[in-house]
Amino acid sequence: EECGPEEWSVSADVVLAPLREALNACHPTVQKQVCDDIRRRLIVLEDAWAQGKLSAPVRKRMSLLVQELQQQHWDAADEIHRSLMVDHVNEVSQWLVGIKRLIAETRNLPAAK
Protein backbone atom coordinates (compact mmCIF):
# COMPACT_ATOMS: atom_id res chain seq x y z
CA GLU A 1 0.00 0.00 0.00
CA GLU A 2 1.18 3.51 -0.77
CA CYS A 3 2.47 5.69 2.02
CA GLY A 4 2.08 9.43 1.89
CA PRO A 5 5.12 11.71 2.03
CA GLU A 6 4.53 12.30 5.73
CA GLU A 7 5.16 8.59 6.31
CA TRP A 8 8.62 7.96 7.68
CA SER A 9 9.95 5.22 5.46
CA VAL A 10 13.20 3.58 6.32
CA SER A 11 13.94 0.01 5.43
CA ALA A 12 14.20 -2.44 8.28
CA ASP A 13 17.64 -3.39 7.05
CA VAL A 14 19.06 0.07 7.61
CA VAL A 15 18.30 -0.44 11.29
CA LEU A 16 18.81 -4.18 11.64
CA ALA A 17 22.10 -4.57 9.79
CA PRO A 18 24.06 -2.34 12.22
CA LEU A 19 22.36 -3.99 15.19
CA ARG A 20 23.40 -7.41 13.93
CA GLU A 21 26.92 -6.10 13.37
CA ALA A 22 27.01 -4.83 16.93
CA LEU A 23 25.80 -8.20 18.16
CA ASN A 24 28.51 -9.99 16.19
CA ALA A 25 31.11 -7.69 17.71
CA CYS A 26 29.91 -8.70 21.19
CA HIS A 27 30.17 -12.43 20.52
CA PRO A 28 33.73 -13.05 21.75
CA THR A 29 33.18 -11.30 25.09
CA VAL A 30 29.49 -11.66 25.91
CA GLN A 31 27.87 -14.82 27.32
CA LYS A 32 26.21 -16.97 24.70
CA GLN A 33 22.81 -16.88 26.41
CA VAL A 34 22.88 -13.08 26.41
CA CYS A 35 23.74 -13.01 22.70
CA ASP A 36 21.01 -15.54 21.96
CA ASP A 37 18.48 -13.47 23.86
CA ILE A 38 19.45 -10.31 21.99
CA ARG A 39 19.29 -12.18 18.68
CA ARG A 40 15.79 -13.44 19.50
CA ARG A 41 14.65 -9.93 20.24
CA LEU A 42 16.15 -8.60 17.02
CA ILE A 43 14.06 -11.20 15.17
CA VAL A 44 10.93 -9.99 16.98
CA LEU A 45 11.82 -6.43 15.95
CA GLU A 46 12.41 -7.52 12.37
CA ASP A 47 9.07 -9.34 12.19
CA ALA A 48 7.15 -6.44 13.70
CA TRP A 49 8.81 -4.08 11.22
CA ALA A 50 8.15 -6.37 8.24
CA GLN A 51 4.50 -6.76 9.22
CA GLY A 52 4.04 -3.01 9.48
CA LYS A 53 3.33 -3.17 13.20
CA LEU A 54 5.67 -0.32 14.09
CA SER A 55 4.49 3.26 13.89
CA ALA A 56 6.46 5.89 12.00
CA PRO A 57 7.78 7.55 15.20
CA VAL A 58 9.14 4.22 16.44
CA ARG A 59 10.82 3.47 13.13
CA LYS A 60 12.24 6.96 12.99
CA ARG A 61 13.63 6.80 16.51
CA MET A 62 15.13 3.37 15.93
CA SER A 63 16.97 4.63 12.87
CA LEU A 64 18.28 7.56 14.91
CA LEU A 65 19.28 5.22 17.71
CA VAL A 66 21.28 3.12 15.28
CA GLN A 67 23.05 6.19 13.92
CA GLU A 68 24.10 7.18 17.43
CA LEU A 69 25.23 3.62 18.11
CA GLN A 70 27.39 3.60 14.98
CA GLN A 71 29.01 6.85 16.05
CA GLN A 72 29.52 5.44 19.55
CA HIS A 73 27.34 8.13 21.11
CA TRP A 74 26.25 5.76 23.88
CA ASP A 75 24.41 8.30 26.00
CA ALA A 76 22.46 9.61 23.03
CA ALA A 77 21.51 6.06 22.01
CA ASP A 78 20.44 5.39 25.58
CA GLU A 79 18.33 8.56 25.64
CA ILE A 80 16.47 7.47 22.50
CA HIS A 81 15.97 4.01 23.98
CA ARG A 82 14.46 5.59 27.10
CA SER A 83 12.16 7.86 25.13
CA LEU A 84 10.87 4.86 23.18
CA MET A 85 10.22 3.02 26.42
CA VAL A 86 8.27 5.98 27.79
CA ASP A 87 6.32 7.01 24.71
CA HIS A 88 5.71 3.72 22.91
CA VAL A 89 5.92 1.00 25.54
CA ASN A 90 3.22 -1.20 23.98
CA GLU A 91 4.94 -1.27 20.61
CA VAL A 92 8.47 -1.81 21.83
CA SER A 93 8.26 -3.80 25.06
CA GLN A 94 8.99 -7.17 23.42
CA TRP A 95 12.27 -6.25 21.80
CA LEU A 96 13.56 -2.94 23.18
CA VAL A 97 15.12 -4.57 26.23
CA GLY A 98 17.35 -6.47 23.79
CA ILE A 99 18.42 -3.18 22.21
CA LYS A 100 19.18 -1.74 25.64
CA ARG A 101 21.35 -4.74 26.42
CA LEU A 102 23.06 -4.46 23.07
CA ILE A 103 23.90 -0.79 23.71
CA ALA A 104 25.30 -1.69 27.12
CA GLU A 105 27.37 -4.60 25.86
CA THR A 106 28.69 -2.69 22.84
CA ARG A 107 29.67 0.15 25.12
CA ASN A 108 31.64 -2.28 27.30
CA LEU A 109 33.63 -3.70 24.41
CA PRO A 110 37.36 -3.08 24.36
CA ALA A 111 37.73 0.12 22.33
CA ALA A 112 36.06 -0.41 19.00
CA LYS A 113 38.19 0.51 15.99
Q: Which residue ranges make up each domain of the chain?
A: 12-108
State the Cα–Cα distance between residues 110 and 113, nearest whole angstrom.
9
On whether the CB atoms of residues 49 and 17 are closer than 8 A, the answer is: no
State the Cα–Cα distance between residues 13 and 17, nearest whole angstrom.
5
What architecture is domain 12-108?
A: Up-down Bundle (1.20)
pLDDT digits (tens, 9 = 90+) for 1-54: 444 444 556 789 999 999 999 999 999 999 999 999 999 999 999 999 999 999
Put simply, whether the predicted model's pTM sits higher than 0.85 gets the answer yes
pLDDT digits (tens, 9 = 90+) for 62-111: 999 999 999 999 999 999 999 999 999 999 999 999 999 999 999 999 86
